[in-house]
Amino acid sequence: MSKRRPSPQPPALTAEILSHRKGFEAFVLEHSDPWHREHLGRLFVRWRTWNGEHFESRLEPPYLLLAEPGFSRAYGACGELSGFGGRSQIRIRPSLVIGSHPHIEPEERFAEGRRRFVDDVLLHEMIHQWQFEVLGDAEPAYHGHGPIFRDMANVIGGVLGLSAVRDCKRRGTGASLPSCSQWPHCVRPAGHYLGAYRRGVSAGGDVGSLERFAARFLRCRLEQTDQDTAVAEVRQAVEAAIEQTLARCEVIV
């Protein structure tokens, strides 16, 4: 028997909330600045399509923004509340759209690949919206990427032909699977983004830092104890640092 406690019912979406959110969508589609109308308008169309295909049309239009997420490494974020107290705000980093993000190629020939990448950020955040508004369980112990998120990602991924992912904690029989924290980017075929996504671009800096750390630590330890002990301690320290780095990297979207 599962020890998981039933999730509380999410707060009801009142008529005023729904009216304001639908009015926000209408403003974006009809009256916003042309650049925002183009890009946010396309994302609202994607949102409505996927709401029907993957969420049984149980979601309501969120406040969808091209704005910086609060977490510096995040591509996007879904919050239960907006900055003005509205319900369900999805923010997508605008540098992904224009190509100024270090993980994204900026040239015009990569425009379609950037759109595909941004679309996947939206799909990821829609699962978080579903957690907030339909289930009432944001999985805070997993930073939002626990078994609930994993299972929904795998259901949608099955429809899209994507391989399975695990939750954000590397353990058990699924430890070797990619984390759902980066879903669906981590399981898309290599050519899906048409070369626009620089896969693994941030890994080199972390590895280089670990190498420098190991060299400094080894020199320090050799001055105090025998070589075998120093090497063993370096190995243990580096392995711990790698685990911490991977854990940080898993909270990306």
Does residue 174 sit in the same domain as residue 118? yes
H/E/C letters for each residue in the chain?
CCCCCCCCCCCCCCHHHHHHHHHHHHHHHHCCCHHHHHHHHHHHHHHHHHHHHHCCCCCCCCEEEECCCCCCCCCEEEEEECCCCCEEEEEECHHHHHCCCCCECCCHHHHHHHHHHHHHHHHHHHHHHHHHHHHCCCCHHHCCCCHHHHHHHHHHHHHHCCCCCECCCCCHHHCCCCEHHHCCHHHCCCCCCCCCECCCCCHHHHHHHHHHHHHHHHHHHHCCCCHHHHHHHHHHHHHHHHHHHHHHHCCCC
Does residue 65 sit in the same domain as residue 132? yes
Number of domains in the chain: 2
Residue 232 has pLDDT above 80, yes or no: no
Residue 234 has pLDDT above 90, yes or no: no
Is 236 inside any structural domain?
A: yes
Provide the pairing of β-strand 87-92 with 76-81: antiparallel
Does residue 147 sit in the same domain as residue 236? no
pLDDT, greater one: 202 or 54? 54
pTM above threshold 0.85: no
What is the pLDDT confidence band of residue 72, given thresholds at 50, 70 and 90?
confident
CA–CA dist 237, 154 (Å, integer)? 35
Does residue 33 sit in the same domain as residue 155? yes
What is the pLDDT confidence band of residue 71, given thresholds at 50, 70 and 90?
confident
Last residue of a domain, which of 160, 187, 214?
187
Does residue 158 sit in the same domain as residue 211? no
Does residue 25 sit in the same domain as residue 110? yes
Is 197 inside any structural domain?
A: no
Last residue of a domain, which of 187, 216, 241?
187
Is 119 inside any structural domain?
A: yes
Does residue 155 sit in the same domain as residue 240? no
CA–CA dist 62, 40 (Å, integer)? 12
CA–CA dist 142, 153 (Å, integer)? 15
Does residue 98 sit in the same domain as residue 37? yes
Structural domain of 70: 15-187
Does residue 73 sit in the same domain as residue 115? yes
Is 113 inside any structural domain?
A: yes
Q: Average of pLDDT values for 154-181?
A: 94
Q: Average of pLDDT values for 1-25?
A: 80
Is 2 inside any structural domain?
A: no
Q: What is the pLDDT of residues 173-215, one digit of tens each?
A: 889 999 999 999 999 998 999 999 987 654 334 444 555 556 6
CB of 203 closer than 8 Å to CB of 216: no
Does residue 169 sit in the same domain as residue 213? no
Residue 242 has pLDDT above 60, yes or no: no
What is the pLDDT confidence band of residue 249, given thresholds at 50, 70 and 90?
very low
Is 242 inside any structural domain?
A: yes
Is 159 inside any structural domain?
A: yes
CB of 128 closer than 8 Å to CB of 78: yes
Q: Average of pLDDT values for 114-125?
A: 98
Does residue 121 sit in the same domain as residue 226? no
Q: Given this model, what pLDDT does residue 173 score?
A: 83
Provide the pairing of β-strand 63-66 with 76-81: unpaired
Is 1 inside any structural domain?
A: no
What is the pLDDT confidence band of residue 1, given thresholds at 50, 70 and 90?
very low
Does residue 42 sit in the same domain as residue 120? yes
